[in-house]
């Protein structure tokens, strides 16, 4: 059995960001533009086949873009 590429907390952050992006009606391209990242990188992050993930700098920038607190991207309890 293959080991997941992301840890549960990394996957949680990806899922929260993807959901928020979709709620806003933004494409991966629009989010990439807001974060000054490549479109391909956002696609890689959202793909379950890649190891790409958001780091703390990204979470801080996402909080600015979505007008959230950085902690809003994390689960209430440890995973």
Question: CA 65 to CA 60: how far, in whole Å?
Answer: 9
Confidence (pTM)? 0.91
Question: CA 63 to CA 69: how far, in whole Å?
Answer: 5
pLDDT tens track for 18-74: 999 999 999 999 999 999 999 999 999 999 888 999 999 999 999 999 999 999 999
pLDDT value of position 18? 98
């Amino acid at each position: 059995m293959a080991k997941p590429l992301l840890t549960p907390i990394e996957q949680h952050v990806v899922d929260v960001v993807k959901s928020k992006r979709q709620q806003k009606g933004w494409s991966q391209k629009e989010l990439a533009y807001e974060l000054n990242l490549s479109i391909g990188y956002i696609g890689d992050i959202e793909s379950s086949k890649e190891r790409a993930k958001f780091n703390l700098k990204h979470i801080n920038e996402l909080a600015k873009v979505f007008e959230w607190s950085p902690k809003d991207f994390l689960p209430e309890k440890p995973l």
